[in-house]
Amino acid sequence: MTSFTRSGPLLEGEWVRLTDPKGRKHNVQLEAGREFSTKKGQIKHDDMIGQPEGIVIQSSMEFPYQVFRPLLFEYVVSMPRGAAIIYPKDAAQIVAQADIYPGARVVEAGAGSGSLTAYLLRAIGPTGTLGSYELREEFAENVTKNVHQVAGTDLPGWTLTVGDVRSCITETEIDRLILDMVDPWTCIPLASERLVPGGIVCAYVATTTQLSLFVETVRADGGFTEPRAWETLERDWHLEGLAVRPQHKMNGHTAFLVTARRMAPGFRSMGTSRRPAPGAYGPDYKGPRPAGLDEE
């Protein structure tokens, strides 16, 4: 068990999240005999070990701190990073919109720093499988450390492979394919070959150029439903008496998400009945052209 899956008294080795009255937060791993230094004095780890969550402790300068185990979304935004992380708002959308369920057979290409990996492992449960592929060995080492910190080391359903998913994938039948890479459109042949009928491919892309290339490659393949693309914006609210308003800062654009479902063998997508906008596939367009575009 880890600090992200258990309840009861706080134990040595677990992570806790300290919050002061101004909302400043610190993640601390408990170790007997140690102290955590802040501008408001020292906080003894021994004052937290063995205590329940939700206590308020005093620093050596009598400054109060609230103590809880960090929630997963709180931890991943501060975890050690190699590559950029997939933020909680996008990870939640992937789990929901790609319909990641207990027992699912999932492959992710581009493990990053392991934030999405942690969410996927929670969603598939002990009966599912997750194959993670990462091109860079140093990133993969960081993923392993982060995932073990969050989910423990007993993960029989998880494999992490250093290599290109397009050439070294071992899974033959998968339910969900998650693509967090620079050129996800190059994995459409792989998705066509390995996804079961009704399976979902989901791409996480940062730019409109990537978005367009991925969507048009899916359309040109013809073996997937019409892609759906969206982004998620998150904004907190200021709440104080009658001064209730949106916060001035918000978590805006991080990436676009795109999903499409695999058709049964021998069947092609119905596409869309809408005519493309004038110039959509004009001389400046360099990507693949949807099947049937030039037909009368």
Q: Cα dihedral sign for 267, 271, 273, 278? A: negative
Binding site residue list: 113-116, 134, 164, 180
Q: Which long-range contacts (CB under 8 A, 24 or more apart) does 180-183 make?
A: 180/86, 180/108, 180/109, 180/110, 180/111, 180/112, 180/116, 180/204, 181/109, 181/110, 182/210, 183/210, 183/213
Of the CA atoms within 13 Å of residue 180, those in its CB half-sphere come to 24
Alpha-carbon distance of 164 to 135, in angstroms, equals 6
Write phi, then psi, for 209 (nearest 5 degrees): -65, -45
Which residues fall within 8 angstroms of residue 45, CB to CB, at 6 or more apart? 12, 28, 30, 31, 32, 33, 34, 35, 36
CA distances from 267 to 193, 197, 202, 221, 230 (A): 14, 10, 20, 12, 26
Angle (nearest 5°) at CA 226 between 198 and 183: 90
> What tokens were used for 121?
């492992």
For the chain, the maximum distance between any two Cα atoms, rounded to a whole number of angstroms, is: 79
Binding site residue list for S-adenosyl-L-methionine: 113-116, 134, 164, 180
Alpha-carbon distance of 9 to 252, in angstroms, equals 37
The SS3 of residue 3 is coil
Alpha-carbon distance of 256 to 211, in angstroms, equals 7
Q: What residues pair up with 167 in beta bridges, in sequence order?
A: none
| DSSP element (H, E) containing 89 | helix 88-97
